[in-house]
Amino acid sequence: MEIRKIVPKDNKTMKDIIQASILEHGAPKIGTAYSDASTQAMYEYYQKPRRTYYVLEVDGVVLGGAGVAPLDNYKGNVSELQKMYFKPEARGKGYGKKMMQVCLKRAVQLGFESIYLETMDNMYEAQGLYKNVGFTLLKQPLGDTGHFSCPVQMLKTF
């Protein structure tokens, strides 16, 4: 298992993983990462300042990823955990926790004071992981990510 930074050849694979996972969980295409412009060009999007995206590779096969970037349309020094999705065969093996640790460490390195996320209400395993590493539920969204179909918002302060 290797966690590494995204490279251009990962774009299609990550787009496919993200979109398949969203559909698997019955989430809408609109108002989620499914339709984000950045999902179409992940590598390029994460080359901008204070952004990093990682992919999880096992035996040469990309099985998922997650990234960190400034929270859109928010004035504070808050990062966002973005596009953390894995293929079904990668779930339940501790990869998500390892990926989360890498992303949290990177957010601190980039100088953020906290990290925010949005998710679907039926992504129970993901929510459990987020709570396990110190995220707490919020009553309303921060910023404006365009993910109006994601009803669960969480925050972790460093």
Residue 131, pLDDT score = 95
Residues 102-108, mean pLDDT to the nearest whole number? 98
Structure pTM?
Answer: 0.94
End-to-end CA distance of the chain: 27
Neighbour order of strands in the sheet with 61-70: 2-5, 52-58, 61-70, 78-86, 114-119, 152-157, 136-137
Collapsing DSSP states into helix, strand and coil, what is residue 65? Answer: strand
- Percent of residues, the chain, with pLDDT higher than 90: 90
Residue 127, pLDDT score = 92
Domains along the sequence of the chain with CATH? 2-157 (3.40.630.30)
Q: Degrees (nearest 5) of the Cα angle 71, 149, 21? A: 90
Residues 127-149, mean pLDDT to the nearest whole number? 93
